[in-house]
Amino acid sequence: MERIFIGIPIAGNAHKIIDGLIRPIGKSTRDIRWVPRQNRHLTLAFPGLRPGSEIIRLINLFDQTYQLQLPFQLRFTAFERFPDPNSRLVALTGPVTEPLQQLLQVTRDLINVSRVEIEAKEFRPHITLGRIRRGKNSYPAIDQQTDITVKVSSVVLYQSTLTETGSIYRHLKESRLGRQKAVK
Q: d(Cα 21, Cα 33) in Å, to the nearest integer?
A: 15
Residue 105 maps to a domain? yes
Here the CATH number for the domain that contains residue 107 is 3.90.1140.10
Q: Enter the pTM of the model.
A: 0.90
What range does the domain containing 165 cover? 2-74+96-138+151-176
Residue 15 maps to a domain? yes
Q: d(Cα 168, Cα 149) in Å, to the nearest integer?
A: 25
- Alpha-carbon dihedral angle through residues 9, 68, 98, 40, given to the nearest 10 degrees: 0
Q: d(Cα 112, Cα 88) in Å, to the nearest integer?
A: 32
Residue 69 maps to a domain? yes
Distance of CA 83 to the CA centre of its chain: 14
Residue 121 maps to a domain? yes
Q: d(Cα 33, Cα 27) in Å, to the nearest integer?
A: 12
pLDDT at 183: 47
Q: d(Cα 158, Cα 169) in Å, to the nearest integer?
A: 6
- What secondary structure does DSSP assign to 96-120, as a single string? --HHHHHHHHHHHHHHHHTT-----
- 3-state DSSP: the chain helix, strand, coil percent, rounded to 5? 25, 40, 35
Residue 143 maps to a domain? no
Q: Which of 97, 91, 2 is closest to 52 using CA atoms? A: 2
Residue 170 maps to a domain? yes
Q: d(Cα 104, Cα 139) in Å, to the nearest integer?
A: 33
Residue 84 maps to a domain? no
Q: Which residues of the chain have pLDDT under 70?
A: 135-141, 180-184
Q: How many domains does the chain have?
A: 1
